[in-house]
Structure 1
Amino acid sequence: MERSDPEGMICVGAVAGAFGVHGEVRLKSFCAEPAAIAEYAPLADPAGRSYGLEITRAVKGGFAARLTGVATREQAEALRGTRLFAPRDRLPALPDDEFYHADLVGLGVRDTGGAELGRIRAVHDHGAGDMLEVAQPGGTELLIPFTRAAVPTVDLAAGLVVVDPPEGLLDRAARRAADGPEGEEAP
């Protein structure tokens, strides 16, 4: 599976845009302790450019921060959407029941009966809990809540996730796959 994440790196945040007129950025942290992002600097973007990081203040939805090499509002705005990565070895080890999202992407997915459902394409967090985006054979997608009930087994060594999706989820996904564009029935 093609991934844009640099090898051996974990995405710890993203630039949400410029903050003010003096080259600060609005920074969104993906860390469990949001301010810990500064401890992992220097951070790198997907192109391999490195940035030192100094948090200047907390702001709604993240932090105002200075990145080395960014001195103007225009430079800060040009970084909008840039994901920032830290080397895995700088990050804390996780307990057995916690995972970095990057470790889950690409894992195979099977149901509790052993049927292959696809591969994890992405992990989304929309505020109500993580969702696994599973790319199914045939090009359809399935969103599965990343809860202990819906995902009882994650075996990183085997490259496999076992899911017990909520009742009806697979049926709805099958119906969507049978529908044509714009929700029309396929011929």
Structure 2
Amino acid sequence: MTDPRVCVAAIAGSFGVKGEVRLKSFCADPEDVASYGPLWTEDGTQSYEVTLARSITNGFAARLSGVRTKEEADALKGVRLFAGRDVLPDLPDHEFYHADLIGLAVFDTGGTQLGTVRAVHDHGAGDLLEIHGPNLKATVLLPFTRAVIPTVDVKGGRIVADPPDGLF
């Protein structure tokens, strides 16, 4: 938990001609994204107050402070927006921000290091940890379930996994 910010949204492009953007929220309650503001760009050079206009397919039409034209909104396509940890809710036990899992070492139940978490993916059927390591020929996707991942020690920088046979 060294990064004081967490990615909570991404701009998917402009919406309409009056400077609104298509906003994809990564929050458990998607509407909460507007309450964590201001939201910052990844490099920390720009911040935006977010006002959700309406729900649209795969996100929201939103207004960002200072963005007034379609061209300005178009220029923000792909920008990820971050909120400070201090404004985010505390999570219950056994729940984690994806940002806290990335970079953790993954060990099997015998103590052998399998790799590190490169990314966390959610395709709708549950989270998958993307594991990368020098002894792996390819990236491995590990289901992020209590049965497969019995221990997550964010402070200790490690995950203990009991992967299905043949996965590694």
How would you bin the TM-score normalised by the shorter chain?
over 0.9
- Which of the two has higher C-alpha Rg? 1
Matches within 5 A, 1:1-187: 7-48=3-44, 49-138=46-135, 140-170=138-168
User: How many equivalent residue pairs?
Assistant: 165
Distance 1:53 1:30 in 2: 14
TM-score calculated relative to the size of structure 2: 0.94
- Residue 52 of structure 2: SS of its match in structure 1? strand
Larger mean Cα displacement after TM superposition, 44-53 or 135-144: 135-144
Greater relative contact order: 1 or 2 (C-alpha under 8 angstroms, separation 6 or more)? 2
Question: How far does the alpha carbon of each residue in 1:62-86 deviate from its partner, in whole angstroms, 9 at most, with x for none?
Answer: 1100001111111111111111000
- The runs of at least 4 consecutive aligned structure 1 residues that moved more than 6 Å come to none
CA offset at residue 16 of structure 1? 0.9
Contact kept? 1:124, 1:132, Cα under 8 Å: yes
CA offset at residue 138 of structure 1? 4.3
Q: Could you tell me which amino acid in structure 2 is paired with residue 164 of structure 1?
A: D
Question: How far does the alpha carbon of each residue in 1:29-77 deviate from its partner, in whole angstroms, 9 at most, with x for none?
Answer: 0000000000001000112110111001111111100001111111111
Residue 184 of structure 1 corresponds to which residue in structure 2? none
Give ranges in structure 1 of 5+ residues lacking alignment: 1-5, 171-187
Q: Please tell me the root mean square deviation across aligned C-alpha atoms, in Å.
A: 1.3
Contact kept? 1:44, 1:84, Cα under 8 Å: yes
CA offset at residue 132 of structure 1? 0.6
Distance 2:19 2:55 in 1: 16
Identity %: 59
Distance 2:159 2:82 in 1: 25
TM-score calculated relative to the size of structure 1: 0.85
Distance 1:7 1:158 in 2: 15
Give ranges in structure 2 of 5+ residues lacking alignment: none
